[in-house]
Amino acid sequence: MIRKIIQIDEEKCNGCGACAAACHEGAIGMVNGKARLLRDDYCDGLGDCLPACPTGAITFVEREAAEYNEKAVQENKRRASHAAAPQGGCPGSRLRRIHPEEHAGETAAAAPAAVSQLGQWPCQIKLVPTNAPYFQGAKLLIAADCTAFAYANLHQEFMKGRITLIGCPKLDGVDYSEKLAAIIRENDIQSVVIVRMEVPCCGGLAGAAKKALQESGKFIPWQVVTISVDGKILD
């Protein structure tokens, strides 16, 4: 039958696995580091995987394809639930909400800064889907990845109580503004704090975040904090 179904461009796919994690039917899997439609009859054509893809590698096409088979999908889910290894997608890219307060008692004898304040996984801007559930009502921290090493108390002063996104525009070689704008526009973001290093290349991160705020069409509180290479707050 001719029907709407997804198509994956392997040239654009970066292998993050976010689409496989977003596909509730198990139609997408990772093969040789790339996302692949495993079975036509597992794809319901609703496209939950599309907004999860950070590179735009997934589109809809209309072609000859087997009819969606819900019975086969449910059987596949049953088998997956009993498998010893996690199924579908890269485990390192699967969405996870983390509650630091639940682990505070485990390090009671340590200083408070010893407790990680990371509130979700993944945290890389390139890997996180724009519609992740933990964005709803979130206070957002957009941080250069070097800041965690330069500023010792980043967790307690900036990450605590926030959803953290990290990146390096110089190393990633991308403009984050479009994705950040989508995150802010499509979710109920309460505030944005941008933490960057003093080095000039880090201005690309702050610039992308500011552009994203403008393009989102929303007016929410935001600020930029600059960290020196010797671990001081400059402004």
Is-contact 179 130, C-beta < 8 A? Answer: yes
Say if residue 126's pLDDT is above 50: yes
Is-contact 115 103, C-beta < 8 A? Answer: yes
11-67: per-residue pLDDT in tens?
999 888 888 888 888 899 888 788 999 999 999 998 889 888 989 999 999 999 999
What's the confidence (pLDDT) of residue 84?
A: 35
Q: How far is CA 111 from CA 115, 118, 153, in A?
A: 8, 17, 11
Q: DSSP readout, 17-72?
A: -HHHHH-TT--EEEETTEEEE--GGG--SS-TTTTT-SS--EEEEEEE-PPP-HHH
99-116: per-residue pLDDT in tens?
776 655 554 454 554 789
209-219: per-residue pLDDT in tens?
999 999 999 99
- In the DSSP assignment, the letter for residue 122 is -
Say if residue 76's pLDDT is above 90: no
Q: Which residue has the tokens 């682990």?
A: 103
What's the confidence (pLDDT) of residue 22?
A: 84
CA 144/CA 159 separation, integer angstroms = 12
3-state secondary structure of 159: helix
Portion of the chain with pLDDT greater than 70, in percent: 88
Give the ranges where the chain is alpha helix by DSSP (H): 18-22, 70-82, 147-150, 154, 169-172, 177-186, 203-216
3-state secondary structure of 110: coil
Say if residue 132's pLDDT is above 90: no
Which among 134, 168, 141, 136 has a CA at the least distance from the CA of 157? 141
Q: What is the mean pLDDT of residues 110-138?
A: 83
The structure tokens listed for 227 are: 């960290």
